[in-house]
Amino acid sequence: MTTLSRFEIHQPASALEASQMLAHYGEDAGFYAGGTELLLAMKHSALNYRHLIDLKVVPGLNSIDVRNGFLEIGATSTHRSIERSALVEQHQPAMAEMESQVANVRVRATGTLGGNLCFAEPHSDPATLLLVLGGTVKIESAAGAREIPVGDLIAGAYASTLQAGEILTKITIPCAKPTHRSAYMKFQIHERPTLGLGLWLETPDDGRTFTSARVAVGCVCPFPARGLNAEKLLTGSCTEVEKRLPEATDAIADAADLLDDHEGSAEYKRHLIHVFLRRVFRKAIGEALD
């Protein structure tokens, strides 16, 4: 039987106070946002905290704004609030669509984007898309603030690069421009996705040529990975890029540490990347899917 041990919830008035509270209670304390991962981990005794510092009550941490061409999403924004935000839909529609496919509506209504990124669960969606959209995260603590690319936040499966007392406060994403095309697709058979694939393209001439590309894969590997060698193959004329998709598949699969696990073999995951790279490319350029 799984049970939760007793704990106390503390409600800080600012990110600074939250960081100080964590320092005060030390290893007996953890930050808490939606609790969708944390409480499960505590029920299974994977994490044991007697003090939870509630980040949801910190004013301003759940705001969604656009400033100087960047979409700024507060870390305690729930998946549901991002999915339903008119600003996100207008300035980064691929993000709104990806969020609408996370988990189920109960998890989306409670779980936060910040919690998702900090927990670094390998079978999650947002980090993979944020890698190709050029997302960064702001991290604050009593020691100060720093901003890093999303890729530098995730150290491995269930591991972030956050230091004790550091809080992820904001996720910043460049707004989409008319010359950008982007899409995210996932394949899912169990409770969490088996594959996630994100693609971003720059096209000065409405999809006839691509001058720059970013592609990332997640869920098939311990943490999301950019396919840097594949990105070179995804530039050129549309016809050239379509011909090079099989070669790009191999480059993406080689860049990721494909896992043999309960979701399938590494070879099966390579096949999924092959199938979904073509689909995500067609989706990004607005062509009908097979």
Which residues lie near ligand FAD (CB under 6 A)?
30-38, 55, 75, 102-103, 107, 110-112, 114-116, 118-119, 121, 124-126, 162, 167-168, 191-193
Which residue reads 């393209």 in tokens? 201
Q: Which helix (H) or strand (E) holds 118?
A: helix 113-119
CA 269 to chain centre: 20
Whichever of 169 and 203 has its CB closer to ligand FAD, that residue is: 169
Sheet containing 64-67: which strands, arranged edge to edge? 64-67, 70-74, 167-174, 136-141, 144-149
Q: Give the residue at shortest CB distance from ligand FAD.
A: 115
Amino acid at 56: K
Amino acid at 200: W
Separation of alpha carbons 41 and 27, rounded Å: 16
Q: What percentage of the chain's residues is helix, strand, coil (to nearest 5)? A: 35, 25, 35
Compute the least distance from the CB of residue 7 to ligand FAD, in Å: 12
Compute the least distance from the CB of residue 129 to ligand FAD, in Å: 10
Whichever of 31 and 281 has its CB closer to ligand FAD, that residue is: 31
Compute the least distance from the CB of residue 207 to ligand FAD, in Å: 29
Whichever of 82 and 241 has its CB closer to ligand FAD, that residue is: 82
Please, are residues 90 and 151 in contact by the beta-carbon 8 Å criterion?
no
Whichever of 189 and 228 has its CB closer to ligand FAD, that residue is: 189
Compute the least distance from the CB of residue 85 to ligand FAD, in Å: 16
Compute the least distance from the CB of residue 36 to ligand FAD, in Å: 3
Whichever of 103 and 183 has its CB closer to ligand FAD, that residue is: 103
